[in-house]
Amino acid sequence: MKTVITSTGNSTDSPFDLRFGRAAHYCILDADTNETTFIENEYANAQGGAGTKAAEKMVELGVKRVISGDFGPKAKELLERFKIQMVVLNGEDKTVQEIINTLKAN
Amino acid sequence: MPVKIAVASGKGGTGKTTVSVNLYHFIQKHWTESVQLLDCDVEEPNAGIFFPEAQEQYCKQVSQRVPTIDTDTCTFCRKCVEYCEFNAIVVIPPASFAEITPALCHSCGACLWACENGAITERPIPLGNIKMQNIGNNHSLLEGSLEIGSAMQTLLIKRLKKETNTNHDILLFDAPPGTSCPVVATIIDADYVILVSEPTPFGLNDLKLMVDLARELNKPFSVIINKAGLGDAHTHAFLEEENIELLGEIPFSRSFAEKYADGQLLQHIPEELEGHFTQIVENLKTKLS
């Protein structure tokens, strides 16, 4: 199963990004292989529709769960329709690696 | 062709409507009777408040055409997605999913052009109302009011301008606050822009943004300082430094503000203000006729 964690940078040392549609990067954690890959969010600075586009990307990538600081209404609607779990995390002082560690510990 | 004058400010509450309504009044008195006022602040039009005797000539609902995708015909090629400048289209091929988010759609029609399979058709959704009011002696006020929840101010402003009578000598545009798209849509075709500011740090900050915008759009402009006597001297210093013309100053008057709040802007114009507005109109007349 693939989980996405929103990230401010392109490595696991990067701080968590509290924004979903306008996150700088997405860290894709594959629970089956234990591998992480990072993709840049090409819509981070879009004038509008960033949330929708990010949600579209999640569906394309076959992600089942997204961890972010919050989700906007348009993104939420689309993610719900594709049954992608949204996890809201109040973790502005955490790094992506710390979140991965917590996930693994559970 | 009418001379188009736009009144803008950046900061809200500096006196755009006060200046627009008074200019409308004094232009008729000292320049030409053939003037039409347009309230382009379509999110909260308020110029009409100052014309209690106004008679409605017509009020029509205007709509915006929003596309929909027929997923039976769609091949999920994503060409429409590439064409859409506003990220309003979501197409997910593996899920056979194709939808348009109306709240993001600007009705530009690019997706219809892009689709080679005829899968996209348009349907109208309400955009708002345009009201034409007679405000005496065949003078008219055109007002747009945007549908609640819509973010397509620019579209309605463009439609509003299409309703103008081009036989008029002068069209006066009362702009919305801010410096974003609706303001650009208001001043883009203006021949002259009047920036209304107040001598406060907030007024000055937004005046600078408006000056940048007017310069970017190559619009001739000058500044009216409203509520003069309040605040500080930084606005005057800025105008001097930047070599920007001060078209006029309207002194702060508590009794005038009270009349405004009561909707009595044109019924009780203090003599002192009459002099200021007359001078401003004379200046404009020399400049633009």
Q: Looking at residues B99-106, what average pLDDT do you find?
A: 90
Q: What is the pLDDT of residues A28-78, one digit of tens each?
A: 999 889 899 999 999 999 988 999 999 999 999 999 999 999 999 999 999
Question: Is a pLDDT exceeding 70 seen at residue B169?
Answer: yes
- Chain A contact set for B91 (CB, 8 A): 56
Secondary structure, 3-state, A28-94: EEECCCCEEEEEECCCCCCCCCHHHHHHHHHHHHCCCEEEECCCCHHHHHHHHHCCCEEEECCCCCC
Q: What is the pLDDT of residues A71-104, one digit of tens each?
A: 999 999 999 999 999 999 988 889 999 999 999 8
Q: Residue B261: its pLDDT value, please?
A: 85
Question: What is the ipTM score, two decimals?
Answer: 0.84
Say how far apart CA B225 and CA A8 lie, in whole Å.
45
Q: Residue B138: its pLDDT value, please?
A: 67
Q: What is the pLDDT of residues B61-82, one digit of tens each?
A: 999 999 999 999 999 999 999 9
Phi, psi at residue B121, to the nearest 5°?
A: -130, 160
Q: Which residue of B87, B92, B104 is in closest CB contact with A43?
A: B87
CA-based nearest residue in chain B for residue A82: B95
Q: Residue A8: its pLDDT value, please?
A: 96
**Which stretches does DSSP call E strand in chain B?**
3-8, 35-39, 55-69, 89-92, 97-100, 120-134, 140-146, 170-174, 192-197, 221-228, 246-251
Q: What is the pLDDT of residues B152-162, one digit of tens each?
A: 999 999 999 99
CA distances from B78 to A34, B118, B195 (A): 32, 13, 44
Question: Is a pLDDT exceeding 80 seen at residue B265?
Answer: no
Q: Looking at residues B123-148, what average pLDDT do you find?
A: 91
- Chain B contact set for A73 (CB, 8 A): none
- Chain A contact set for B94 (CB, 8 A): 60
Distance from CA of B85 to the nearest CA of A (A): 9
Question: Is a pLDDT exceeding 70 seen at residue A106?
Answer: yes
Among B81, B83, B91, B92, pick the best mutation site for testing chain A contact (most A Cβ within 10 A).
Answer: B92
Among B90, B91, B153, pick the best mutation site for testing chain A contact (most A Cβ within 10 A).
Answer: B90
Question: Is a pLDDT exceeding 90 seen at residue B254?
Answer: no
Domain that holds residue A16: 2-105
Q: What is the pLDDT of residues B203-235, one digit of tens each?
A: 999 999 999 999 999 999 999 999 998 989 999
Q: Looking at residues B174-189, what average pLDDT do you find?
A: 96
Say how many domains are in chain A.
1
Distance from CA of A95 to the nearest CA of B (A): 30
CATH classification at residue A24 = 3.30.420.130
Distance from CA of A17 to the nearest CA of B (A): 22
Say how far apart CA B107 and CA A37 lie, in whole Å.
37
Its CATH class, for the domain covering B64-126, is alpha beta
List the domain boundaries for chain B: 3-51+135-288, 64-126
Say how far apart CA A98 and CA A105 lie, in whole Å.
11
CA-based nearest residue in chain B for residue A51: B87
Q: Which residue of B95, B101, B103 is in closest CB contact with A59?
A: B95
Does B3-51+135-288 carry CATH code 3.40.190.10? Answer: no
Instruction: Tell me what the pLDDT averaged over chain B comes to.
Output: 93
